[in-house]
Amino acid sequence: MWSSKALFAAALVLFLAGCGFRPLYVPPEEDASGQGVYAFDLFKSISIANIPDREGQYFRNRLVQLLHPAGRSGAARYVLNVTLNETRSSLAVQKSAVATRANLTVTAQFTLQPVGADGSAGYGAVKTISGYNIFQSEFQTLMAEKGARERALDDLAQQLRIRLAAILTTTESTPKQQ
């Protein structure tokens, strides 16, 4: 007899195979030129536009570290434009109306545009929330907020990296000729 877990696993495999699901870390498929391409090899073709403000500079540097760990080589085929938006909300308010905890919500809206072409290869937004304590000391609070902001930007960079891999693999993949 088949167990319900085995039937569920088999159904899940068939469903994912039918919808075009392809893991990002599988061995490469051949591209149009007949060469194998890993999803993350495609990051070399992305140029990251400057992002305003200190937070934007930190975020861009983190993206450069994630997308181009060995440096970018070759001509850019895509330009990544990112806009950051940050909001702060107070939580855990005491009876005296003093907040002791806050959340920092950071959203990155992005557009991946082909160089020299109109339109976009992909666009979207990634969002994260990072919390920190509010202390009586202003310096402690500023350092806690800075740490929360950096954690949020690091998380956004990781999320954006995965989204870009998904966009590039669907953009770059072509049907195989038989």
Q: Exposure string (b/e) for 116-135, b if CB count within 10 Å is 16 or more?
A: eeeebbbeeebebebebebe
What are φ and ψ of residue 6, in 5° steps?
-65, -40
- The percent helix, strand, coil of the chain (3-state, each to 5) is 40, 30, 30
User: pLDDT digit of tens for each residue in the chain (178 aa)?
Assistant: 567 787 788 777 767 665 555 565 555 555 555 555 566 677 888 889 999 999 999 999 999 998 888 776 778 888 999 999 999 988 877 666 667 889 999 999 999 988 887 877 889 999 999 999 888 889 999 999 999 999 999 999 999 998 988 888 776 654 333 3
Question: Which domains are assigned to the chain?
Answer: 25-86+108-125+149-172 (3.30.160.150)
- Residues whose CB is less than 8 angstroms from the CB of residue 159 and which lie 6 or more positions away in sequence, other chains included: 126, 128
Among 18, 14, 19, 22, which Cα is nearest to 166's?
Answer: 22
Q: Looking at residue 176, what is its pLDDT?
A: 36
Residue that has been written with the tokens 């070399």 in this structure = 44
Whether the pTM exceeds 0.75: the reply is no
